Structure 1
Amino acid sequence: MGDRDTEHWLRQHGLPYFVAPRARSRALLARTAPFLVFALSFDVLSSVVLEVTIDLDTVSASELTLALIALLLVIAVPVVPALLGLWTSRLLRSRAGAKRPVALVSLALYLVVDPLLFGALGFDDPVDTLGQNAAVAVAALALTWLGIGALLAWALRAALRQFGALGQLATRALPILMLVVVFAYFARALWEVTASMTVPRLVGVAVFFVVLGLLFAVPIMRKELSTLGRAPETEGPPLTPLERFNLGVVMVMAQAFQVALFAALVCVFLVVLGTLAFSDEVLNSWLGGHGDNAQVLGVDLPVRTAMLKTAVFLSCVSSLNFLVSVSTAPAYRASFYDPLLDGAREALAVRAAYRAGR
């Protein structure tokens, strides 16, 4: 594998600071093109979809159908641009001759067509949009040169790959928490607390659990990485502080995706369970003035807002427990933690060969 192939492999695995500094500006615009495609499609979709309000008086479909349509529209806003960005990245990897044309076209679309389209639709002034898009494009080029673009692109791909572990998470990790979580879920006092939480306060609670998780995960990851660096198969120049930081960030983010996916599973499980188990009479008695339904694009979802808040709160608690379990318990470490360490060993071996070749 030549130097360019190795550098591409390292960037693909979220390790841009393992690449020699002289190679950072190579094909810079082409490496930024997937983000420009993402930004362009996200601008268009978010401006159109989030301006939509479904008028229930003029639509004859059932409430459940309308709720599903509204949810799909909201989900499409981040998902479709992400898929388009990934498709652009794959196109540029498979067709080397397309790099420059695709990069120039994506830049022209973002800087020229996007502002004109916004102006024609009456969303914003074309000159203002051009200035904003130009600033975003310059920032994207700078961040790509610094290696942040490669790290973010890897994060997106890793997040999508984690969906492949959905079945394993559901069958192996969920049962260890369901007993405690379900008992807490049926406690009226918890519902009264979470129902009275504002959205910023609930976000603050979630951030608090994220910080606790980092305080637990980062020291463990540092210890594991120091052990890996001394392994015989990863012999090479000592890691620089920047390379060590880069590898640590990748490892922590990869584990964060597993925890986030588990939290989402718990949240969905609890919402479905609550919808089946709680009657309107019980919820009205428990919630009092906080018994309104969640809304998307003006459509009432068949889920109480308080139920979503309670599910989110318990999913945060469960995710911290899950993180501790997969990091310490042998049965879960082999399934969720050890593959991350195997990936780190491979990256260190590739780095050693890359440095030896140079």
Structure 2
Amino acid sequence: MSAQPGPVVPDDDHDPVVTVREAEHWFATHGLPWFVEAVDARVVELLKPSRLVPLLAVAGVLGALAGGLLGGTVDAASGVLLGASVVVLVLLVYVGGPLRVATMARWAARRVVSELNLLLPLVTRALPLLLLFMTFLFVNTEVWQVASTMSRTTVWGTVWLFTAIGAAFLLTRLPEEVRRVEAMVVRDGVAGACSGTPVEAAAAHVRPDAAHVPLTRTQRANLVLVLLVAQSLQVVLLAVLVLAFFVVFGMLAISDDVVVSWVAPILEPQGRQVPSPITLFGFEAPAGFPVSNELFQVSLFLSAFAGLYFTVYAVSDANYREQFFAELDSELERAVGVRAVYRAASARLASADPAVDPSAAP
């Protein structure tokens, strides 16, 4: 079994301190904090069971205490919701700070603007057939009965279920994309992958086999998260468009009399008004508001289903991937290339002064 190649030290006059600093700044602005060697080592340490088990225990105890207090004074459902929220909050603080996920979140916020530029081609390519299929469900009596009889908590639970299924599907497919990009950079060389990055000049002096050093598990996970966020933003944009379409379509085409004929036989025996006023985040819409609770719940349910359908379609359809993944593929290639230059500069810096921590470069 052959040994893995070590860091490839470039034979050039570029200041390795500057190269390391530029590479680390590039990683931070592109949602790749785990590509920094010191951060990568720290993340590996923080993800060990000896760290995670006590964290989960503390989060569970705090969640149980908060949920128990509220559940005893209000109701059990509110207590469960508060307890789960406390657990999630504790975990978010942990991943946002020590694990540097906040850096990825800032990149994701900037990425929203880029995804908006894809809105028109996304609408013209993905929406027509999807809406044709979903509209038949929208005018189906059984769909209205199922969605209308759900409580709002159940509807949101269904939305989160579809979201979890879609995320699980992406997480099984996106690692293949990362491995494919790694192989492309190894085949084509580092210099081309670093085109347009701050380390482009330094990359020209790095040996072609610099990219042969494989990514660490956490670095691969970082790239998968970048892909997951980018794909999720597209899914959310499309789901919001579907939601808006069905709300407007329902206002125009589905009269209150039709809604009553579809769902009143089920809801009125339960003492529920049909159509009922929409309630959002505890606020009830005023009388005469054109969107009923039934219309909103059906639209929300179908938009979540459309998001799941689109998630599977986006990863499986070759033509879609070619059109919408091209920019992401280029960004992944640049990440792998910049990482190779970064490792080479770090190795050169360490060989010049073993006491220097490359990640602490000013």
For this structure pair, what is the TM-score category when the shorter chain's length is used for normalisation? 0.5 to 0.7
1:317 corresponds to: 305
> Residue 290 and residue 164 in structure 1: after superposition, are their counterparts in 2 closer, same or farther (change >3 A)?
farther
1:191 corresponds to: 144
2:277 is equivalent to residue 293 of structure 1: yes
> Residue 6 and residue 145 in structure 1: after superposition, are their counterparts in 2 closer, same or farther (change >3 A)?
farther
1:337 corresponds to: 325
Aligned residue among 8, 20, 33 for 1:3: 20
Q: Considering fraction of residues, name the structure with more helix.
A: 1
2:188 is equivalent to residue 237 of structure 1: no
2:342 corresponds to: 354
Task: Measure, in 2, the Cα distance between the counterparts of 1:312 and 1:141.
Answer: 32
Contact kept, 8 Å, 2:33 with 2:39, in 1: the verdict is no
2:256 corresponds to: 280
Contact kept, 8 Å, 2:34 with 2:40, in 1: the verdict is no
1:171 corresponds to: 124
Contact kept, 8 Å, 1:195 with 1:290, in 2: the verdict is no
> Residue 215 and residue 187 in structure 1: after superposition, are their counterparts in 2 closer, same or farther (change >3 A)?
same
2:37 corresponds to: 20
2:226 corresponds to: 250
> Residue 160 and residue 200 in structure 1: after superposition, are their counterparts in 2 closer, same or farther (change >3 A)?
farther
Task: Measure, in 1, the Cα distance between the counterparts of 2:307 and 2:230.
Answer: 14
2:291 is equivalent to residue 303 of structure 1: yes
How many residues get paired? 247
Segment of structure 1 superposing worse, 2-11 or 170-179 = 2-11
**Structure 2: gaps (5+ residues):** 1-17, 43-88, 191-210, 265-272, 347-362
Taking every aligned residue pair, what percent have the same amino acid on both sides?
31
Q: Give the match's secondary structure for 2:291.
A: strand
1:162 corresponds to: 115
Could you report, residue by residue, the CA deviation over 1:28-70 in whole angstroms, capped at 9, with x for unpaired residues?
xxxxxxxxxxxxxxxxxxxxxxxxxxxxxxxxxxxxxxxxxxx
> Residue 141 and residue 209 in structure 1: after superposition, are their counterparts in 2 closer, same or farther (change >3 A)?
closer
Query: Shift of residue 23 of structure 1?
Result: 10
Query: Shift of residue 255 of structure 1?
Result: 0.7
TM-score by length of 2: 0.62
Task: Measure, in 2, the Cα distance between the counterparts of 1:223 and 1:22.
Answer: 24
5 Å matches for 1:48-87?
Answer: none
Query: Shift of residue 3 of structure 1?
Result: 2.3
Query: Shift of residue 265 of structure 1?
Result: 0.8
5 Å matches for 1:78-97?
Answer: none
Matching residue's letter, 2:278: A
Segment of structure 1 superposing worse, 306-315 or 335-344 = 335-344
Task: Measure, in 2, the Cα distance between the counterparts of 1:22 and 1:312.
Answer: 40
Matching residue's letter, 1:331: N
Query: Shift of residue 325 of structure 1?
Result: 1.9
Matching residue's letter, 1:171: T
Matching residue's letter, 2:310: F
Query: Shift of residue 164 of structure 1?
Result: 2.2
Query: Shift of residue 12 of structure 1?
Result: 1.2
1:152 corresponds to: 105
TM-score by length of 1: 0.63
Query: Shift of residue 353 of structure 1?
Result: 1.4
> Residue 270 and residue 308 in structure 1: after superposition, are their counterparts in 2 closer, same or farther (change >3 A)?
same
**Structure 1: gaps (5+ residues):** 26-135
> Residue 168 and residue 9 in structure 1: after superposition, are their counterparts in 2 closer, same or farther (change >3 A)?
same
Could you report, residue by residue, the CA deviation over 1:209-240 in whole angstroms, capped at 9, with x for unpaired residues?
12221232112111121122222235153211
Contact kept, 8 Å, 1:327 with 1:337, in 2: the verdict is no
Matching residue's letter, 1:154: W
> Residue 219 and residue 236 in structure 1: after superposition, are their counterparts in 2 closer, same or farther (change >3 A)?
same
Could you report, residue by residue, the CA deviation over 1:267-318 in whole angstroms, capped at 9, with x for unpaired residues?
1111111111011211222232342122465543421111111111111221
Contact kept, 8 Å, 1:236 with 1:355, in 2: the verdict is no
> Residue 12 and residue 24 in structure 1: after superposition, are their counterparts in 2 closer, same or farther (change >3 A)?
farther
Q: Flag the structure with more relative contact order, 1 or 2, with Cα contacts below 8 A and sequence separation at least 6.
A: 2
Task: Measure, in 1, the Cα distance between the counterparts of 2:150 and 2:158.
Answer: 10
> Residue 303 and residue 271 in structure 1: after superposition, are their counterparts in 2 closer, same or farther (change >3 A)?
same
